[in-house]
Amino acid sequence: MLRIVGIGIAVIMGLTAAAPVQAAVGVNLYGLSWHPSDDDLEWFNPGLGIRYEFLRRSRWKADLVAGGYRDSVGELLVHTAVGAQYRLFGHTYLGGYFMAAAQGYALDEVYLVPLPALTIEAGPVDLNFHFIPRFKGASGSSSVFGFHLAIWPFGGRGEVDTAPSDPDARVGLEFAITTGPKLEDLDGRSISLRWTRNRRHAWRFGVEGYAYHQHTEREFYGDTGLERDSGYSSDSAHFQLLVQHLWLFQSERGTRFTIGLGPRFDYQAGNLQVWAPGAVLSLGAEVDIVDGLTLLAEYTTAWRRQTRDAPPGDDNAVSSLEAGARLGVSIWW
């Protein structure tokens, strides 16, 4: 694995020597992490990396990364990755990487990991958020959300025209409390990027998560009559990644009514690791209380299709409908 990382660094240095004007070299400063299904893992992961952005055209950019850091189980993790991102709006990019990583000081086993990523550019500093799905090894046998900085001390990146094409266009962050499986349980949290294109159309790119504890009692009927044991308990963390198109309807009193529709991908981290695709429909209302601050309330209905283990001949896919609510605030800039 050290050879792979060394090759990655050598390639970056070689490309830097012959870099076009738009190319740039940066430094990664790792990092913070959150393991939703295991609170005992370390959240501070210091380390360094080198980053080479070799493409920046129109709304796309692509780069190579190589480096290392102390992972959440206290061992060395080295990696190299290549990826691309698409500019959604302003200086916000969404995309992914394909990473080769090895853990521990022996570095005797390589893991290949897909890495969804979100980047917000702030001048010479990038704020990078990523998600590593559960795999035995580099993420501590747990899914993980991570954060690190990329610094571009030498400049060289091309300028991006981020001027809005519509005077009503704006970008913001939405923070909300959401329901879990039951409407009375306001135990979920969500954060979303909101992009309002104009007075009629907007987009939401969000992640929602909640913890779920289930306890089931089991009854046994034996020769001695009814017997009851303590049953079993299960803890799991659920996440939803969603993309929604929002239709906006302005009222004369300033309230906006919204209809949202888009795909959703559910991930359960716990005793079982499950991905489930689906879709979500939302009906809501929002009002601007001051300039740059909006309150919102929504009712949501979500459909998902989950694959499970089943006996031969049985359908291993289960479809379900879930209802929920969302109360939150949006901050605009």
Q: Report yes or no: 99 and 125 within 8 Å, Cβ to Cβ.
A: no
Q: How far is 312 from 310, CA to CA, in rounded Å? A: 6
The confidence score (pLDDT) of residue 47 equals 93
Q: How far is 304 from 180, CA to CA, in rounded Å? A: 14
pLDDT at 269 over 70: no
Tell me the three state secondary structure of residue 158.
Answer: coil
Q: How far is 70 from 73, CA to CA, in rounded Å? A: 8
The confidence score (pLDDT) of residue 245 equals 92
Mean residue pLDDT of the chain comes to: 76
Pick 177 or 133 by higher pLDDT: 177
46-60, 105-119, 211-225: least confidently modelled range: 211-225
Average pLDDT of span 84-102 = 86
Summarised one tens digit per residue, pLDDT across range 286-329 is: 999 888 899 999 998 888 877 655 556 655 667 778 888 889 99
**Phi, then psi, of 299 in degrees rounded to 5:** -115, 135
**Phi, then psi, of 13 in degrees rounded to 5:** -65, -40
Q: Report yes or no: 60 and 88 within 8 Å, Cβ to Cβ.
A: no
Please give the DSSP secondary-structure letter assigned to residue 157.
P
Which two tokens mark 150? 């990329």
Pick 307 or 221 by higher pLDDT: 307
Pick 203 or 154 by higher pLDDT: 203
- Domain boundaries, given as residue ranges, for the chain: 2-151, 170-332
The confidence score (pLDDT) of residue 122 equals 86
* Confidence class for position 134, pLDDT limits 50, 70, 90: low
Q: How far is 209 from 228, CA to CA, in rounded Å? A: 34
For strands 125-132 and 293-307, give the pairing: unpaired
Distance, CA of 247 to chain centre: 24
Average pLDDT of span 200-222 = 65
Bridge partners, 21 (sequence order): none
> 170-332 domain in CATH 3.40.50.150?
no
Which class is domain 2-151? mainly beta
The confidence score (pLDDT) of residue 218 equals 45
pTM tops 0.85, yes or no? no
Q: Report yes or no: 33 and 43 within 8 Å, Cβ to Cβ.
A: yes
Q: How far is 224 from 56, CA to CA, in rounded Å? A: 75
Q: How far is 252 from 312, CA to CA, in rounded Å? A: 59
**Same topology between domain 2-151 and domain 170-332:** yes
Tell me the three state secondary structure of residue 136.
Answer: coil
The confidence score (pLDDT) of residue 273 equals 56
